[in-house]
Structure formats: C-alpha cells, structure tokens
Chains A and B, each alone.
Chain A
Amino acid sequence: MQELLQYFFSGITSGAVYAVIALGFTMLFNSTGLINFAQGEFVMLGALSLITLWRDFKLPLPLAFCLAVVGVAMVGILLERLAIRSVRKPHPIVLVIITVGASILLRGVAMLHWGKDAYSVRSFSRHPPIEIAGATLLPQSLWILAIVLLIVAGLQFFYRRTLTGKAMQACSINRKAASLLGIGSESMVLLAFGVSAAMGAVGGVLIAPITMSGYDMGTLLGLKGFCAAMLGGLGSSWGAVVGGLLLGILESLGVGFFSSSLKDAIAFLLLLLILYVRPSGLLGVKAVHRF
C-alpha cells in the first residue's frame, strides 16, 4: 500500500511537469493550429535563465521568475516574427519543420552560452518533504500542480471572457473569416507564440529545482509534453493536465509493476492504445481534423 502511494506520488511529480509543458503545446495549437516542436527548448531556456538570474545574480525569486518568463516570451515572439511569419507558403508541415529547426538552433545557442554541464538549484520553499502514510510527496510538486491549475483557469478565462481570447480562437478556426471581421490575425499569432513560450518558461522555472537542468534537457521533456497533450486531446487545457498526470503515473506504475528499463515503452504503448481507441485523445472533442 505504501509502495502504491509512493508510485502515485512519484507519478504526480513527473506528471505535473509533463502537464505544464503540454499546456504550452495546447495553447499554441488552440490559437494557431500549429505544433511547436521548440516547446521543450523554451522549457530549457526558462530553467537555465532562472538558474542564472536566481542562483548566480542573486535576484529575489519572484523577480527572477518574471524576468526569465518575459525573456523566453521575447524569444518566442522573435521566433514567430523572424522564422514563421516570413515563410512565403505557410503550409502547416513547413511551419512544423521550421520549429524543429528552431529547436536545434536554440539548443546550440544554449550550449554555447551555458556550456555542457548540468546545473541545479534549491527548491522554492524550504519545507521538508510531506509524508503521508509512509510515502513522501515533494512540496515542489505541489507548487507545480498549483501553478498548473492557475494557468488552466487563466486560459479558460482568457478564451471565454476576453475579446482578445475570442479573437484568437476565431483566427485559428478560420483565419480568412476572422480577418474579414477586422481581427489582425498576424498579431494574434504573434501573441500566441509569446504566451506559449512564456508557458514553456514557467514549466522550466518550476522543474529546475526538482531535477538537473542542462542545455539538452528540452528534447525529452518536449516529447513527453507532446505525448501528454496528445493523450489528453490536443486543444483541451484540461486534457493537457489529465494527459500529463496520467502519463506520469503510468510511467511510475510501469517501473513498480514491470521494470524500470521498460518505463518509457509502457507509457508510449498506452499512448498508442488510447489514440487507437480514441484518436482525439481523452478529453479532445474537435481539433484533430484541423491539423
């Protein structure tokens, strides 16, 4: 029983990380219909910027947090402005490949700037791990979960209650119709890139204390986040959260009941199964035809 609970908690820790990354994918997909494979690199940039600002420059945590997120958002905006918008024939597959290229570029730049070593920082709050029935849960996981929920609530509010949010959704559903109605679709796409990059950075900032950060951490995290988004249903914010937590818990149970060398295989196998039975993901209802 104690083991089961511990596997569950371990799953929540990594699952919350996947969820926050999946939210970035979902946000951009919802607004532009694009998949950004540089999302993992935004996570890496967020984590490494936090380490530089908080640990090395000794800035207060909230300030370091904001600066890291804003900085990465600027990178996202630059990416859209320089690489995405200038494409003459913006076919989705071309744009997706551009994001793959951007991820390689960002990784290379980060390697030059931060070097090949990994870094670590202490957790946000100095609480000891919480013990429940012999199993331990990290306070940092609770931080991540709380912020994930906050982001989801914020996104829901943005899409349902604000004019910009509605305009953004309109753009992704039909760009031409939206611009006929006077919505500046280019600035919407720009905004979406900025916000999703910022969300990636938030993810990076949150996970920096629970793991080691290095220039090459983004690839695997981006992939896992993408899987979580697919699992939950691309385009659904709640789906991203459910998908992330489910992936994390499945991985952890896979270690517990099968073998740790099959950890990734088990999670991905289940992903394939779920997508076979429900191609639109667990909570996805629309979306898939759009891509």
Chain B
Amino acid sequence: MGSKEKMKAIVWMILPLVGVLIAAPAVLAKEPYKIGGLFSVTGPTSFLGDPEKKSLEMAIEEINAQGGIDGHMLEAVIRDTEGIPDKTVLGANELISNEKVLAIIGPSLTQTTLSIVPLAEKEKVPLISCAAGIEITEPVKPWVFKTAQSDVLAVSTIYEYMKKQNIKKVGILTVENSFGESGKKQLSTQAAKFGIEVVQAESFGGKDTDMTAQLTKIRSAQPDAIICWGTNPGPAVVARNIQQMSIKVPLYQSHGVASPKFIELAGDASEGILLPSGKILVSEQLADKDPQKAVLKKYIEDYEKKFKVPVSGFGGYAYDAMHLLAKAMKGTEGDREKIRAALEKIQGHVGISGTFNFSATEHNGLGADAFVMLQIKDGKWKLLGQDK
C-alpha cells in the first residue's frame, strides 16, 4: 500500500469522526423529558382546555429556552379529552404506556381528573390536575396534586368579606350541576364558622330562561345578601332578574363567572355585583408589594404576544403546574418517585393562581391569598380591600 493510499484511508477513517464531532451536541445532549398533557381542548369545556394547552406549551418553551432541566429538554405530549371521562382514561393510558411520560398535567375537569386518579396511583405517575374540585386532593393521594383553587377557598373568601360587611343572613341560588352542588355544600357547611345563616337555598337548571320564581322565594326570606353559584349563562339571567325585580340586597356571584363574558351577558345588571376571583383579572390593580404581580404581568404579556388572543383566567393552572413540576424535576434524573417527593417539598412557589406551599398532607398548597374580592363597576373589575 503506497503512502498516498494510506493517507486516503486515514482521511476516510477521520471523516466520519469529524462528522460525529460536528453532530456531537445533538448526540451527546440528553434524552428529552416527556411531559403528558391532558386537556379538554375541544368540546363544551374547551374554554378551560384550550388556554391550558397553550399555557403548558408556553411554559415548556420558557424552560427549554433556559437550557431545559439538568440538560434535558422538555417535550409536551398533549391529548384531547373533550371533557369526556372515557377519552381521558384512554389518553392517560396512552401517555403512560406508549409515550412513557414522566408526569401528567391536567385534566381540566374534576370528573375527568377523578376518572384517572386510580390509574396514576397504580402506575405511580405524578398527576397535577388543573381542576377545582376539592375531592381531587382531599383525602390526599400520594401521586395526585392540583393547581386550581378549590371552591372551599372561594366560599371562605366571600364569607370573610361578608363578615366585614356585617352580613348575617344569606339566600343562595345554585345551578343544578356538579359545580353548583359543590358550591351549595361549601356555602352551607362553612356558613356557621363565619356567623352567617343560610335562610333560603334554591336552585336553577343550567338552561332555564327565568329565575324570578326562585328569587321571589329568596326575597321573602329577607336575606342581607344573595349568593348565586353557577357558570354562564344562568348567573347572568339571575343578575338581570334581580335588577328587574328591583331587589336591593347585594348580589354575590362565584368565581365561575369571573370572565368578561359575564359582564357582556348581564349588561348593566352586572353593576355592583361582588365576586371572588384569582388575581389574574386585576393584576394591574394589585399592590406593588404583592409577589404575584410581576409573575402575572410576565405571563399575561407573553401569552398575549405569543397567541394574539386575550389571556384567560384558566390557562394559569397548567402554567403553574409545569413550573412546579420543573422545580421538582431538578436533580431527579427522571425518577418518578423522586419527582413526587420533591413536589411535596415545594414551598413558597409564586404562581399565577397564588403562592403554593405543598407538603405531605397538602397537595393543593394554596392559601387564602389565592382569591381576592372584586366588584363590577362601570363594566370593569374593581379590586376590593387592598391598598395600592
């Protein structure tokens, strides 16, 4: 073999090596961490699932832009539940068995979450739900967490405020679905603790066109205030009926209507209505010392810039879930048990829905500061009880 041939052989041997070296960052980079997302992206509850999906994608982009977690990039695998429990179970099975995700964020609803809780427990996959129902984390299940505020907090925020207003007797009007039932239960059980009495409890169907009969009954019980618990459009009809019947006592609504749509539906009947809400609706009115103010500002600006749609009050649940998960995943090398244990240790995480303090016995982690009281004034939200 001549020296020329030798050289050629050496070059041929070196070339692939050079190729490997050039491609090295890609080859040497660690395998991405897969995160499962289960949201009702379509269907009647898409108003929850769609912003949640967008927020999860946004949070993952943020984390990857900062170099991922311990060098692992994150990858979202999202399945649409359509708000149906059967589809949620199918989606969760696929995420766990085929995609081998490290953790699941979602689903968007209490009922879809409950449908996959047994699966998450059995397969030992951390599940961070975006639904509100208290039964998700109470009693505490080792592998199940949630980021949305519970009804319990919404009710105590209202009653706390009423106590200051010296309101003693309330009439409640709740919608006939799981949201309304849960609200009714909380309103009735917590009342005594705040020295409040529920003098009349009525309900309405989600598609009823007129609630004046129920309101007549409530009015005759002479309450100091009326609390309506439902999601659009029922509560807007209630607000209108109260205006038409010129009932003078204040009307409180639930966080279920904390969206601009409610003001649009109720029109001038929305004037003066009080309701609890996450801080996202009034982020600009928050005091500068509020630790959530900066987080909310960044989230809202980024979201509106990226998706060109107004921010929703619900996407934050998935955003919080992803950032909490990212914190917990650091240094675990993708070990699910370690992630779970780390989640339970997170303290003082300032998110969109409030400040999270998890522990072995607290898997929602939000405190009373997760809700603020708002009043609708001139078709705008006004923050109550905070000094600027």
Contacts and interface: CB of A to CB of B under 8 A. Distances in A.
Chains A and B belong together in one complex: yes
Interface of A: 3, 6-7, 9-11, 13-14, 17, 116-120, 122, 129, 131, 135-136, 138, 207, 210-212, 214, 216-217, 219-221, 251-252, 255-256, 259-261, 263-264
B244 interface: yes
Contacts of B176: 261
A264 B205 contact: yes
Given A122-B267, A212-B237, A129 B246 contact: yes
Contact of B209 (A6, A131, A135, A210): A210
A261 B44 CA distance: 24
A10 B211 CA distance: 8
B212 interface: yes
B267 A120 contact: yes
Contacts of B244: 129, 136, 138
A211 B209 contact: yes
B43 to A, nearest CB: 9
Contacts of B97: none
Interface-centre pick from A118, A119, A220, A252 (highest chain B CB count, 10 A): A118
Nearest to B261: A117
B233 A260 contact: no
Contacts of B44: 116
Interface stretch (B32-40, B214-222, B300-308): B214-222
Contact of B212 (A6, A17, A221, A263): A6
B213 A217 contact: no
Given A3-B217, A261-B176, A9 B233 contact: no
A14 B210 CA distance: 7
Contacts of B368: none
A211 B210 contact: yes
A10 B267 contact: no
A7 B210 CA distance: 11
B61 interface: no
A130 to B, nearest CB: 10
Contacts of B216: 3, 6-7, 10, 135, 256
Contacts of B245: 6, 129, 136
Interface in B256-282: 261, 264-267
B207 A251 contact: no
A260 B265 contact: no
B237 A211 contact: yes
B interface, over-half SS: helix
B272 to A, nearest CB: 17
26 contacts: A10-B212, A13-B212, A14-B210, A17-B209, A116-B46, A117-B232, A118-B236, A119-B265, A120-B265, A129-B244, A129-B246, A135-B216, A136-B246, A211-B237, A212-B233, A220-B205, A220-B207, A252-B212, A252-B213, A255-B202, A255-B214, A255-B217, A260-B202, A260-B214, A261-B203, A263-B205
Nearest to A140: B244
A221 B214 CA distance: 19
Interface of B: 44, 46-47, 176, 202-205, 207, 209-210, 212-214, 216-217, 220, 232-233, 236-237, 244-246, 261, 264-267
A217 B203 CA distance: 19
Contacts of A136: 212, 244-246
A9 B245 CA distance: 11
Contact of A118 (B203, B204, B205, B233): B233
A116 B40 CA distance: 14
Contacts of B267: 120, 122
Contacts of A256: 213, 216-217
B246 A7 contact: no
Contacts of B210: 10, 13-14, 210-211
A119 B267 CA distance: 11
A260 B203 contact: yes
B305 to A, nearest CB: 24
Contacts of B214: 255, 260
Nearest to B266: A120
Contacts of B217: 3, 255-256, 260
A7 B209 contact: no
Nearest to A13: B210
A117 B203 CA distance: 22
Nearest to A15: B210
Contacts of B46: 116
B203 A212 contact: no
A214 B210 CA distance: 15
A147 B266 CA distance: 26
Contacts of B213: 6-7, 10-11, 251-252, 255-256, 260, 263
A142 to B, nearest CB: 13
Given A255-B202, A260-B214, A118 B232 contact: yes
A3 B220 contact: yes
